[in-house]
Chain A
Amino acid sequence: MGMDLSYLEALMGGAAADTGGGTGGVWVVSPDGAADDGIMRLVGKARVVADALGTYVHLLLAGGAEAESAEFAIKAGADRVLLAASVPGLADLASYLRERAPQVILFPRTRLGRTLGPGLAQMLDGGLCGHAADLEVDPIYQRIVAHQPVLDDAARQRVTLVAAPAVAVVDTGALPAAFNEPWRTGTVEDTGVNWSQPPAYPAVELPASTASLANAEVVVAAGRGLRTADDFALAGKLAEALGGVVGGDLGALDAGWITEAQLIGLTGAQVAPKFLLTLGMDGDTSLFMSARDAGLIVAVQPDPTAPIAPVADFNIYHDPAEFAAALLDKLSA
């Protein structure tokens, strides 16, 4: 009779060889030196992950960041901030990090992050989550579990990064707010490396996107509850303020406020925007059924018994024109 040592090792957190090699800690790489809110949130997430793993957070600010940003980063959770004057290429970054054997490497989801992160994972033979909205640590095997949005963020899949080092390209906007803890201390160092500067490319004009109802992310839909054409103009201003397009139902079409191309419904466009704001639409036509799958539906109309009320996620029982004006105010504040 003997004790199964492998089971005991799993309980105790695994032998050093199982924890994925590298005692180099959690590294956050900002490849272009940006030290904005997104990077600070990422440092905060790195702090949480490093605490769970029992290791340190190193932040690499490449591409010429100021010393002030380094101080912010320490208050946000970094133990060590390394400054580099230039932007690394993939080979430079791989050889730099290979020497330091990190356990976890985190990139922000900027173009440079999306380009360097997966390439680095391939070169270091590590595990990769190319799009992570959140990170957690598996407590038994001390591995990173990333939450990857799937099906247009309908759900998130837990992806365990098995190979070491664990690389994740993180959507920093989805992370909780950055820490700001003045009692934290850390070191700021200059890496002393001299990587090359990336060339600048000429800008070009792209044709304006043909924002149509079908692919808009925000739709402001107007109905007869808006009464006058002036009030309808508010819908247009709201759409502009929210970065969306204007639509309407048959009532708005009959009133001459919208064209047939802006008609929502079974004969018009099938819309599935992330946010649909209806002003003065009571939803009493089956036309509205085509918009049920919008991400967030807010209906502004005064009648609590209108057919749209049980369909909308949020109902606001006020005069739509007044509410539109108030919302415009708040948005521009």
Chain B
Amino acid sequence: MRIVVCVKQVYDPKTVKISRSREEFDLREAVRITNPPDKLALEAALRLREANGGGEVIALTAGEAQAEDVVREAIAIGADRGLLIADPELATAGGRAVAKTLAAAISLLSGVDLVLLGQTGLTDGAGSLAPRLAAELDWPVVLDAVGLTHASAGDLEATVASDEGAILMPLVAPVVVAIAPGPDPIRPRYPYPARIANAWQPGLVEICTPRELGLAAEVLAPDVEPGGLVLPPERTRGEVIGGSTQEAAEQLVGILRVKRVV
């Protein structure tokens, strides 16, 4: 069983600030971390490997050279080996280019049964990489998977959460599954200290460029151009809702409706 887990290096949103005056992100103090939903995906992969009694878990990422940290962290947590597609343009290339790059890498790895990734990226949460990757590979895709298990016959089953409840979907390999945190989220394991040290040994992580995968330079052309930020109005504190108790209650319900709390 060969599972590829796509991991992504993102900025920790707690360290990303917004500059109101320039209407853009302020990344001067931003720290890079592994996208937490990708850690859920890695945990799901490791649990599948344990339940299967064997198999290979490969951590894959496409990004700048610093993304190697994320792959090494995945190996320290338990992945068998890693693959980094490095190119400085990949940081700004956009979802279309990243999907093509990852698909080329997965095709090159061959014999992959399952691709797992976290459903949302931290800063934008759009969740569009999994369907894009599946379209490139021509594989089926499952979103909103909160659990992944072996069925009795040995095939895989995904528990997919929706607003109306949850369904159990049988999967046919090869398939792309996007892992989302559910009501009882999977707890990702921490790396053993010994594994952290060993993760930096040579030979565990292969680094290559998109060109080596056979991708032309036009593939990295961005499909979207990010622009400035649209900021909500400044928060005003200390306002008073006047009137009688009934009137104030009604006004509050109106405010809650506008803010989509009710």
* A residues apposed to B, CB below 8 Å: 90, 111, 114-123, 125-131, 145, 147-152, 154-163, 169, 173, 201-210, 218, 242, 274-275, 295-298, 304, 309-319, 322-323, 326-327, 329-331
Contacts and interface: CB of A to CB of B under 8 A. Distances in A.
Interface residues of chain B: helix, strand, loop or mixed (majority): mixed
A206 B165 contact: yes
Contacts of A207: 183-184
B167 A316 contact: no
B179 interface: no
B253 A327 contact: yes
Given A131-B124, A149-B125, A201-B168, A111 B96 contact: no
Given A149-B124, A206-B184, A315-B239, 9 more contacts: A118-B95, A121-B128, A155-B18, A157-B227, A159-B226, A242-B256, A316-B241, A316-B252, A323-B248
B225 A162 contact: yes
Given A161-B224, A207-B183, A275 B252 contact: no
A111 B128 CA distance: 11
Contacts of A274: 259, 261
A10 B74 CA distance: 48
Given A114-B127, A122-B135, A204-B159, A209 B184 contact: yes
B54 interface: no
Interface stretch (B65-73, B110-118, B139-147): B139-147
B225 A201 contact: no
Given A111-B144, A150-B124, A206 B227 contact: no
A160 B227 contact: yes
A233 B231 CA distance: 39
6 contacts: A90-B131, A130-B128, A206-B183, A209-B184, A304-B240, A311-B238
B255 A159 contact: no
Interface residues of B, number: 67
Find the residue from B224, B249, B253, B259 having the highest chain A CB count within 10 A: B224
B95 A311 contact: no
Contacts of B153: none
B229 to A, nearest CB: 4
Contacts of B260: 173
Given A275-B261, A312-B237, A206 B166 contact: yes
B225 A202 contact: no
B60 to A, nearest CB: 18
A158 to B, nearest CB: 4
